[in-house]
Structure 1
Amino acid sequence: MSKSIDSLRHELSKLRTGRASTGLVDNLRVNYYGNETPLSQVATVSVADARTLTITPWEKTMVAAVEKAIYGSDLGLTPNTAGQVIRINLPALTEERRKEMSKHVHGEGENAKVAIRNVRRDAMQAVKELLKSRSITEDEERRTEDEIQKLTDRFVKDVDSVVKAKEDELMAI
């Protein structure tokens, strides 16, 4: 269940919230001498200010490849190159885009809740199997099912809090 929450946090870290974050380009892959290589392995990515990312390739020849990868991505960003430094200015999000991203955040939260419920279902099934094989008593079965439900409820609340925090971050101007 905790892996579901970790996965949710990872997915939500990729969303652009109007503030610059290096996580925005973490999944970007660059053609490095014929191999698709993660951007972090060919350049230094840093946050210059609240709305600017700075990418500094380690080799001068990689500037064009990094630019091409940024243009080819579905991030909708435009790089500005000055010598060997690539700057990406993040435009402010429109209200419509914020609401659209908020819906996406809710969808990711629901996916995490489904994953948590699937874990609960598997655990409940395992408890029933133990009861059938007479490894545990009916009292132990009820107690264990109650504990599993309490854990599930706690993790669902955690998902709700992660989604709420991301939503607040999205709606902040």
Structure 2
Amino acid sequence: MSLRRAALRSSSILRQHSCLVAHQNFISARNTSIFPSFLVRTYAKAGKGAKSTANLVPRSKQPITDPEAQEEYASAEQKMTAAVDWFRRECASIATRANGRVTPDLLSSVRVRFPKDEHAFKLEEISTVGVRNASELVITVFEEESLKHVERALYDAKLPGLSSFQKQDSRTLKIPVPKPTVEARKALFAAAERQAEDTRTQIRRHHQASLKRGKYEKHSVELDEFQKLTTRFVNNVDTILKQLK
């Protein structure tokens, strides 16, 4: 009899436990449907040494700050400007000749050298240059001994269409200026192209000389600025030549 009671009691306890577990599962499922779970993402805080990139200036827009580099940049710019200005004057003279106009500017590129002088002289510094009969240039030197040096300078200049001249007296040269033919114009433009290439080469030499003196680091602001300077002046040469044509 006692065994039967114990069995009934054990069975009752099992039923109560099953009901309790079922009730807990129901409550858990109900809470899940009412209060669904969410994933929350968290972010790590920036380190104390982190810096904002909002105010950083690209290297291409940074100026040269080193005093020696600034001085070298100014020197290179001055030399490149002189080279381009010379080429611009040459093209202006070529345009004048191609259009058939006779002016003293046709001889503006001629430089006269004397044995005892280190630098060359412009024609207007040692002579007068005038126009006669709208078709001739007349050079009158201030001193007789200068005439032979002027003749040599005219030969060396190799100006298209102006290679022949006549000696009128001990101080005067006459240069006939023929009307430009199609062939003469082509020769003038070919001469301009050669001068353009010479000017580009001169600009690049100034660039390389500045880099050699400065010994700037790779990818430095100085290298970028000198390259932009060179590109700008080379483009100026291209523009002048294009306008001439």
TM-score range, shorter chain: 0.5 to 0.7
**Equivalent residue number for residue 83 of structure 2:** 4
Task: Note the C-alpha offset of 1:99.
Answer: 1.1
Q: 1:77·1:88 contact (CA, 8 Å) conserved in 2?
A: yes
Q: 1:78·1:88 contact (CA, 8 Å) conserved in 2?
A: yes
**Equivalent residue number for residue 122 of structure 1:** 209
TM-score, normalised relative to structure 1: 0.57
Task: Note the C-alpha offset of 1:155.
Answer: 0.3
Judged with a 3 Å threshold, the aligned counterparts in structure 2 of structure 1 residues 154 and 49 are, in CA distance, closer, same or farther, namely: farther
Structure that is richer in strand per residue: 1
Q: Distance in 1 between matches of 2:176 and 2:195?
A: 27
**Equivalent residue number for residue 44 of structure 1:** 128
Identical pairs, percent: 28
- State the one-letter code of the partner of 1:131: E
Question: Where does the alignment leave 5 or more consecutive residues of structure 1 unmatched?
Answer: 30-36, 133-137, 169-173
The question of 1:131 aligning with 2:217 is answered yes
101-110 vs 114-123, greater mean Cα deviation? 114-123
Q: Distance in 1 between matches of 2:234 and 2:122?
A: 33
Q: Distance in 2 between matches of 1:102 and 1:45?
A: 25
Residues 139-161 of structure 1: CA deviation (Å, up to 9, x unaligned): xx1x2222222211210121123
Residues 3-43 of structure 1: CA deviation (Å, up to 9, x unaligned): 321343455566571322324274468xxxxxxx9764664
Q: 1:21·1:53 contact (CA, 8 Å) conserved in 2?
A: yes
Helix, strand or coil for the counterpart of 1:45? strand
Q: Distance in 2 between matches of 1:43 and 1:123?
A: 38
Question: Where does the alignment leave 5 or more consecutive residues of structure 2 unmatched?
Answer: 1-79, 114-120
Helix, strand or coil for the counterpart of 1:44? strand
**Equivalent residue number for residue 97 of structure 1:** 184
Q: Distance in 2 between matches of 1:94 and 1:123?
A: 44
The question of 1:22 aligning with 2:104 is answered yes
Q: 1:28·1:39 contact (CA, 8 Å) conserved in 2?
A: yes
Judged with a 3 Å threshold, the aligned counterparts in structure 2 of structure 1 residues 41 and 117 are, in CA distance, closer, same or farther, namely: closer
Q: Distance in 2 between matches of 1:114 and 1:58?
A: 36
Larger gyration radius, structure 1 or structure 2: 2
The question of 1:53 aligning with 2:123 is answered no
Q: 1:56·1:86 contact (CA, 8 Å) conserved in 2?
A: yes
Q: Distance in 2 between matches of 1:2 and 1:86?
A: 34
TM-score, normalised relative to structure 2: 0.44
The question of 1:150 aligning with 2:228 is answered yes
**Equivalent residue number for residue 8 of structure 2:** none
Q: 2:216·2:222 contact (CA, 8 Å) conserved in 1?
A: no
Task: Note the C-alpha offset of 1:58.
Answer: 6.2
Judged with a 3 Å threshold, the aligned counterparts in structure 2 of structure 1 residues 21 and 161 are, in CA distance, closer, same or farther, namely: farther
**Equivalent residue number for residue 108 of structure 1:** 195
Helix, strand or coil for the counterpart of 1:155? helix
